Structure 1
């Protein structure tokens, strides 16, 4: 009888046991990011800035299994484990946060079915298990997860969100899940590049890509989890809608299509609202990526690295510092106490397509005027610019502006290459557009 009473008390107490508390708590105070009440990166150039890396496909899956055309074998759980194994190295290098997406990102091929949501907006436990494992390891490391809900390519398949109500449900369920789990190191990004043309294929698309649509979704998240820090991201031009600034807790921008020469102006235009500025996507790499990181920090914005070729395109690789040594050495420099930046040392030859932007849509037969900006190319002996589309050479001896007419409807990646004395010395970040 005594043993039965002891067992009953054990079960009763177990039923009322609290979830284990988490040790990393992120907050914003006076426009600066804090972790556990302490200023992030104190005494460094990146003091108070949430330095981050886009690792959206660390929790990737493809329910349609189109990945079989790309690689012979893929294990979602093993993929996440490989990323987790390298988390300490990234954090030690000065990374404060990682962007993880419930719908992933472009994996290097079209048609992937990758979503943590069912068509009605309910969450899928098998997907969340991988997300949860990433959140918990980051918590132990003192790092933050920027959890993104929607990615524009998750449309037009049988598992896609099927209505405005489902989209609202998805945000509500995500905020509720974060709250119920008690995560204190998670902040929310409602949509990746919400004005992106890819969202045109979603239900109630005009509402979704509008400022009001994003306001509705942000308020839905805040209603279900008032303590959650919430934002949504703009396109790669580095601008953010005025109407959304009062609604968000932090201003979330992308710099993919922004020239290094324009970082200061873009960042300064967003100051004065009492909210931190975070770039959480810039696909510049190598010396240019390191310069982009340093320039963003120099002007007062956090910077986010997207290494498409390594971390986001299948087969995904997570090699720590060796993903891009020049960029990660700059992460370390700007987050180290006592270090400082010399602006004249950030001058780096670069070439950026400034129009069109990622997500722009054009009509079949329309001529596109491609604009681009080059910096310090005069340091090369005999530079030659080549225009490429989906890895095919379209035009040699490019001059600005460049007129281009897409041969047919479809999705295109356009980019520029710079040759010097016949040797490839530079490749611009690609721009993703649709012709319909």
Structure 2
């Protein structure tokens, strides 16, 4: 292995050097952080009906999906990304297909076996990340997919099986996440995953069976438990549905753990205003775009708009030199791309490079006001969350004009426009 991750107090070292210390213009306060992105569907498959994921202008193939993520990693690395979260049980296509209808589970019912095909794809990603100097946060369990494990004993066995495999491959560039948001209701079928006491037990199993791989476990946005944090090697938190002040308060809870441990937010949203909060407070932040990066088949490259703006902000904070964008190019009307339509539905929002500078956004269809958004990320038909929204309720047609008026806090108004492509795919 080329990349070895090590922990020193609340900081990360790669090959015995604080992360980012090799870059010439990174402020020393950011040395040892591990900026990351949720690429949870990196080894995704569906044993039930994979053909339904042939959409968004692409055919779905599990191996191709993994290879495309691997091909995109160097793009993300050059902007400063140093870790990705990939799940053995993936994540939910939040907007389109019920996860309860998907079979993306690699574990046998008793937890003793992991599908060789899933292991092969996971190994490819870990080794590709290793070659670049990147870390993979390997997540073991995801919500409703745990329904395929027969009981708590099977869950414990699956942790042991996965930890033993990770150990036996000799991987030195990984962090192990027991479960993604263990406190959500669908984990109730397995008390060992749903309860704090159970998670502590699973963390201890993973630590023992992995041979020293750092272990943690996340909860929902704003959730924090001191027993889990004390048992963890890495404190994993989520920023979903948190205001910037609430996110700050959550970070302070995690920083109160003694002795100090590194804190990683490995899921928040595309609300990149939280990136600056995290870095100012000395913790690592995780970009999460549940449309461009969690709806298979995924476009793993840095797509225009939210992905691009996150990368530019990350590079800016790290002192990585990038061309400055003119004001008008700092905004992008997201969700109207030709391929991003499902069953006639579109999820429309305003991507921005500096969302902190926006007061509110107005959305117009054919010159008619259809809604306003006041919170980052600026989503049309937000349902009170920074990561979830309803689709636009009406079918759109090629040739339609859409625009967003962006009202900045300094009084400036910027308008961005787009016309639906004639190549719109249903």
Instruction: Give TM class, smaller chain.
Output: 0.7 to 0.9
Equivalence for 2:82 = 96
- Call closer, same or farther: CA 1:375–1:338 in 2, change over 3 Å: closer
Q: How big is the shift at 1:208? A: 2.1
CA RMSD of aligned residues (A): 3.2
- Call closer, same or farther: CA 1:114–1:425 in 2, change over 3 Å: farther
For 2:53 and 2:192, how far apart are their aligned partners in 1? Answer: 35
SS, match of residue 280 in structure 1:
strand
For 2:250 and 2:51, how far apart are their aligned partners in 1? Answer: 38
Q: How big is the shift at 1:375? A: 8.2
- Call closer, same or farther: CA 1:334–1:125 in 2, change over 3 Å: same
Is structure 2 residue 301 aligned with structure 1 residue 314? no
Is structure 2 residue 245 aligned with structure 1 residue 254? no
Q: Are the counterparts in 1 of residues 360 and 373 from structure 2 also a CA contact under 8 Å?
A: no
- Call closer, same or farther: CA 1:214–1:376 in 2, change over 3 Å: same
SS, match of residue 84 in structure 2:
strand
SS, match of residue 189 in structure 1:
strand
Aligned length: 339
For 2:267 and 2:141, how far apart are their aligned partners in 1? Answer: 15
What are structure 1's unaligned runs of at least 5 residues? 1-21, 340-347, 349-373, 401-412, 427-436
Q: Are the counterparts in 2 of residues 58 and 83 from structure 1 also a CA contact under 8 Å?
A: yes
Equivalence for 2:193 = 208
Q: Superposition pairs for residues 334-353 of structure 1, below 5 Å?
A: 334-336=317-319
Is structure 2 residue 40 aligned with structure 1 residue 52? no
Q: Are the counterparts in 2 of residues 41 and 337 from structure 1 also a CA contact under 8 Å?
A: no
For 2:184 and 2:138, how far apart are their aligned partners in 1? Answer: 18
What are structure 2's unaligned runs of at least 5 residues? 323-330, 332-354, 363-368, 393-401, 407-426
Is structure 2 residue 99 aligned with structure 1 residue 117? no
- Call closer, same or farther: CA 1:320–1:33 in 2, change over 3 Å: same
After TM superposition, the score normalised by the length of structure 1 is: 0.71
Equivalence for 2:312 = 329
Q: How big is the shift at 1:123? A: 1.0
Q: How big is the shift at 1:338? A: 10
SS, match of residue 63 in structure 2:
helix
Q: Superposition pairs for residues 151-170 of structure 1, below 5 Å?
A: 151-156=142-147, 160-170=148-158
- Call closer, same or farther: CA 1:136–1:385 in 2, change over 3 Å: closer
SS, match of residue 153 in structure 1:
helix
- Call closer, same or farther: CA 1:375–1:220 in 2, change over 3 Å: same
Q: How big is the shift at 1:376? A: 7.7
Q: Which moved more, 1:50-59 or 1:261-270?
A: 261-270
Q: 1:184 aligns with which of 169, 172, 178?
A: 172
Is structure 2 residue 129 aligned with structure 1 residue 138? yes
- Call closer, same or farther: CA 1:70–1:197 in 2, change over 3 Å: farther
- Call closer, same or farther: CA 1:197–1:425 in 2, change over 3 Å: farther
SS, match of residue 56 in structure 1:
coil
Equivalence for 2:326 = none
Q: Which moved more, 1:184-193 or 1:266-275?
A: 266-275
Q: Deviations over 1:284-326 (max 9, x none)?
A: 2xxx42x221111111210001111111112311123646211
Q: 1:267 aligns with which of 237, 244, 251?
A: 251
For 1:425 and 1:218, how far apart are their aligned partners in 2? Answer: 48
After TM superposition, the score normalised by the length of structure 2 is: 0.72
For 2:382 and 2:64, how far apart are their aligned partners in 1? Answer: 39
Q: Are the counterparts in 2 of residues 104 and 114 from structure 1 also a CA contact under 8 Å?
A: yes
For 1:378 and 1:126, how far apart are their aligned partners in 2? Answer: 48
Q: Superposition pairs for residues 220-299 of structure 1, below 5 Å?
A: 220-237=205-222, 239-273=223-257, 274-284=260-270, 288-289=271-272, 291-299=273-281
